[in-house]
Amino acid sequence: MNNLANYIKWRGDLGFDISPLNEVDAIIFSELVYLDFSGYTEKTSLPLYKINNLYIKDKREQNFYNMAAKDIVKLLAQSGSSDRFKNIAVSDYAAYDCDDNPMQFGACTFKFDSDKIFVAFRGTDNTLTGWKEDCMIAVSDNIPSQLNAAAYLNMVANKYSDCEIYIGGHSKGGNLAIYAAVNAFAEIKDRIKAVYNNDGPGFSKEFIESAQYKEISDRINTFVPQSSFVGMLLEHDEDYIIVKSANHSFWQHDAFSWRVVGNHFIHLDEDTKSIRFAEKNMKELINGLTNEQKKQIIDSAFEIMAEGGKITFEDIRKAGIKNIPDMIKAFNKIDDNSKKALTDGITLLAKLSIKNGYEINKHESKSKSKETGIV
C-alpha cells in the first residue's frame, strides 16, 4: 500500500503549476514543520534541497521528541531531491517552548508557487509539556500556542501580501491552523483558500458557533484515521474525512501510516466503531466536568506522570512498572480537592466507556440484523 514516500516518487516530477496542491502535499508540509530549521530560515528563505544539504552537513539530531522523527528526516531528503518540492522556499521559521506556562509552538512558511504560500504549524511532540498544553484546549480556547499561531499567520500574510494562503498542521498543528484562520484579519481571511486539519483536536461549542468560525468553516478540511483519538477531542462543526491507516489504535495518529492512492488518501465511507466510541466518550467526559475540575485533573495527572524527572512518554514507557511507586508517591502529594477531581474523572470515564460501548454494540447488532433479515 502506498504512503507519503511513494507519493513523492509518483508525483515528484510535476510542479504545482501542473498539478495543484492536494491533501497529500498538505500533510507533507505539516510533517516537515516538525524539523529543526533553526539557524536556516528565521531571517531569510532557503529552498528545501539546500536545507536538506545543511541538515546532512550539520548532522542535526534525528531523535527529536516525535514518534515519526526518522521518517520526517527521510521525508526531507525525499522532498529535497524531487522536482516538485526541492525548490520550494522555506522561510520564517519560529519555535518557542515554555515549561512554566505549558506552551510549545513551531511554524514555518513554504512558498510553493509564485503567488501561493502554505503556512504550516507544528503539532505535539512526545513530551509531557506538549501534551499538557494539548489537554488545556479542553479548558480554554486561547492557549498560548493558539495566540502565537494567530500572530504568526497575520505576520507572514502581511509579508507575502500578494499570495494566496493555504494553512495546515498535524495533531495540535491542525488545531492551530484552524484557530489562526478563524482569528485572521478580514483582508487576510479573504485570501485563505484552504485549511488542512490532520487529526487535530476540536474546539469548544462556543468557538465553533461563533461568527468568525462560520466565515472560514467551508474552507476547513479535516482528516482523521479510522481509530482517531486526538482528532475526536472536543467539537468539530466541519465534516471530517476518515482515512485508512496501516497502524492500529493510537498509533494511527502517525500520518506516515496513512494510505495514499494517486493524489489523495484512501477515504473510508462510514464512521468506524472506534471513532464513534472515542467521540462519544471524549465529548461526554468533557461536558460532564467543570472547567475547574478539568484543570485540576490535567495538573494532577501530569504532575503524577512527571514524578522522578520524567520528561517524555518514552521515559514513562521505559520505566514500566517501576513507575508505580513514583506515581503513588506523587498522588499522595496532591491536595484533597485535586485527588477528588482526578478520581471522579476516572470514574466518569469508566462509566461512559461501559455505557457507550454497550450502546454502540447494540446499535451495530441491530444494523446487522436488518441487513441479514434476522430480527
List, for residues 100-124, the tens digit of each pLDDT value: 666 789 999 999 999 999 999 999 8
List, for residues 8-30, the tens digit of each pLDDT value: 999 999 999 999 999 999 999 99
Place 265 in a pLDDT band, splitting at 50, 70 and 90.
very high
List, for residues 40-62, the tens digit of each pLDDT value: 999 899 999 999 999 999 988 66
Q: Please give the Cα distance from 65 to 100 (Å, whole number).
A: 19
Look at residues 111, 56, 101, 47 and name the one whose alpha carbon lies nearest to residue 79: 47
Place 181 in a pLDDT band, splitting at 50, 70 and 90.
very high
Domains, in order of start, for the chain: 4-272 (3.40.50), 288-372 (no CATH)
pLDDT value of position 117: 98
The number of C-alpha atoms within 13 Å of 7 and in the hemisphere containing its C-beta is 25
DSSP for 24-59, written as a single string: HHHHHHHHHTTS--TTTSSSSEEEHHHHHHHHHHHT
How high does pLDDT run on average in the chain? 83
Residue 323 has pLDDT above 90, yes or no: no
* 314 vs 31 pLDDT, higher one: 31
Instruction: Tell me, yes or no, if the pTM score tops 0.95.
Output: no
